[in-house]
Amino acid sequence: MQLFVKDLTVIDFSYLCPIRGMVGESWIVDVLLDGGLDEQNMVLDFSKVKKTIKNTIDDVADHRLLIPTACSQVRWQQQGDRVWMDFASQKGDIHLACPSQAFALIPTEVIDFESVNDFLQKALREALPENVQGISLTLRNEVLTTPYYHYSHGLRKHDGNCQRIAHGHRSPVTIFENGIAEPKWDEYWANRWRDAYLGTEEDLVSVTELQLSKQSNINDESHYGFHYVAPQGDFQLAMPKACCDIIPHDTTVELLAEYMAITLAAKVPESHFKVIAYEGIGKGAIAVRG
């Protein structure tokens, strides 16, 4: 007997890519279970499917930075609950020192649907009851016909997993100028924040203040340093400047929508702007300026 759930959950995360650097992503998860019927004549109660599978996926991958540990560009070490990470990409070297729960260490050369699927299935097989004999996941992007960006960020003031300094989203944006949809502004932000790290000005520090691994060989000319202490621990990151957009406040979707609207109103003072900004899939904020 098979049981399926479409659109079970969404994973919002970032991953390291040798070509693109740090990439923010949002993947939809569908699940298919194989198994015998239990005493309720069910493979698994739908409420338990949603709770057990979603919670497991959230615990091991959501709002984390996914690391392809078999990739030759990766160097990492762990001491206790702290991980030091060094990564070489075509966009520049990336360095982190964070609590271990900020990362998902995946034994693969590249982060893709297949490698993450294998990683998640292993975690889920340990969480599901014995009568569930097989599990199949489908990971997929939201189909978008309008411009979108991939960004990574961290929210030090968040009391949940958004405080992790390197997680991200794949998000569309729709902008109206004087009440008319204006795709050129959608494209502007999609290009500006393509594979970008949105850093909060308050979190900026000199890279010389960061306690990174001995593998790091960077300076303030090439990299921005970010550092903060949040409830989950001490987070440190050094990112190539060319990959960053420094935002003068927190990078919640509410403030990002407002930032886009204010920026556009300054560019075209005579116009009125409405920004519909998404954070991942199916959620976001609206800001109006002008």
- State how far the Cα of 5 lies from the Cα of 37, in Å rounded to an integer: 17
Q: How confident is the model at residue 289, as a pLDDT? A: 95
pLDDT of residue 195: 98
What pLDDT score does 97 carry?
98
Query: Which DSSP string do the residues of 121-159 spell out, in sequence order?
Result: HHHHHTTS-TTEEEEEEEEEPPP-SS-EEEEEE--TT-S
- φ, ψ of residue 7 to 5 degrees: the values are 55, 45
Mind listing the pLDDT tens digit for each residue in 133-160?
778 899 999 999 999 999 999 999 999 9
Q: What is the pLDDT of residue 35?
A: 61
pLDDT per position as a tens digit, 16-51: 999 999 999 999 999 887 765 555 545 455 566 678
List b or e across 12-42, with b for residues whose CB sees 16 or more CB atoms inside 10 angstroms: bbbbbbbeebbbbbbbbbebebebeeeeeee
pTM beyond 0.85? yes
| pLDDT at 214 (0 to 100) | 84
Report yes or no: 247 and 226 within 8 Å, Cβ to Cβ. Answer: no
Q: What is the spatial order of strands in the sheet that 2-17 belongs to?
A: 103-106, 65-68, 2-17, 21-35, 132-140
pLDDT of residue 76: 95
> Cβ(50)–Cβ(128) under 8 Å?
no
Please give the chain's pLDDT, 290 residues, in tens.
677 888 999 999 999 999 999 999 999 999 887 765 555 545 455 566 678 889 999 999 999 999 999 999 999 999 999 999 999 999 999 999 999 999 999 999 999 999 999 999 999 888 776 666 778 899 999 999 999 999 999 999 999 999 999 999 999 999 999 999 999 999 999 999 999 999 999 999 999 999 999 888 899 999 999 999 999 999 999 999 999 999 999 999 999 999 999 999 999 999 999 999 999 999 999 999 98
How would you classify residue 200: left for phi > 0, otherwise alpha for psi between -120 and 50, otherwise beta?
beta
